[in-house]
Amino acid sequence: MPEAAFSDRRVFVYERMDPTDQSLDWLQERGIRVTRGRPMWQQPYARYTEAEIIAAAAGFPALMGASGVQFTARLIAALPELRFISKFGVGVDNIDLPAAAHRGILIANTPEDSEAVDVAEHTLGMILALRKKLLQWTPHYMRQGGWRPGIFAETVAGSTVGMIGLGHVGRAVVARLQGWGVKIQAHDPHVALAPADVQLTDLGTLLKTSDIISLHATPSVENRHMIDEAAFGLMKPTAILINTARAGLVDTRALIKALKSKRIAGAAVDVYDEEPPEADSELFRQKNLVVTPHTAAWTWKGVQNIAWHAARNLSAMMLGDGHADLVNLKAQS
């Protein structure tokens, strides 16, 4: 952490997360000049292209936003004045961390308990939506005279739930599954001790034996497309897949193929290779699919908590006060 306040106190907020902007007003009151970029809630949602972000962020020592900008080595090199990135959310897979460290750029994220709770609840909602056929029995279905069809909902109790990843969100899901009458198993190579009543297992066994598979792994080069065609081939035809983590964990083409061929019973997706995805994506033509627009943590209280956390991180990095949740401590040396 800087011993003294950073002299150039300017930040470009390339994505605004909290509609109240109160955390940004607070930064300005502390002497940090805030330039406000695009709101994340605008319709239609438009990300900055690489050329646009280079032009908009040129000269700023600090940037703040979510995952809408890919901080590649090339982009980092194009912003020579950049010294701080205050990230909304926990994931930093949109940032080339070695390139940032080489430049001495400090990066902070926002590990909020409320975010883990929100994503965990969203995960359970997706499980119920798929198992209870909630998106098939709709007001439209009833207006058409629909009643009890020749399909049936399914009971969650008695299922085996396979958790891929046991970080904050994965453990929050486990805590909320207690009392549901399910068997929980998990795969996480970084975890040696699982929560009570959770059995650690290898990925292959988890895929073969789970009725519900929920992804909560941290994205990395090693686990990119860990759920591919071969992985779907191991799953039960009655299994469902839930992804509220990162799109890169799943090979989308393989997912579409598995849904079309009914290799699995269904899937629920909150994250996409390109965000926002193309409206005519083949993925959205699959009937056994539940989708949400990357809103697992998109709650009023949640976005405010994250926005304030990121603002405090930035203040700590630029002004030398307080604590910042740095993800690359080595960049200080």
Catalytic positions, please? 246, 275, 294
Ramachandran class of 31: left when φ > 0, alpha when ψ lies in -120 to 50, beta otherwise: left
| Cα dihedral value 275, 277, 278, 279, nearest 10 | -120
CA distance 91 to 114: 15
Cis peptide bond upstream of 61, omega within 30:
no
Residue 328 C-beta-side C-alpha neighbours within 13 Å: 25
Cα 312 vs. chain centroid, distance in angstroms? 21
Neighbours of 284 (CB within 10 A): 13
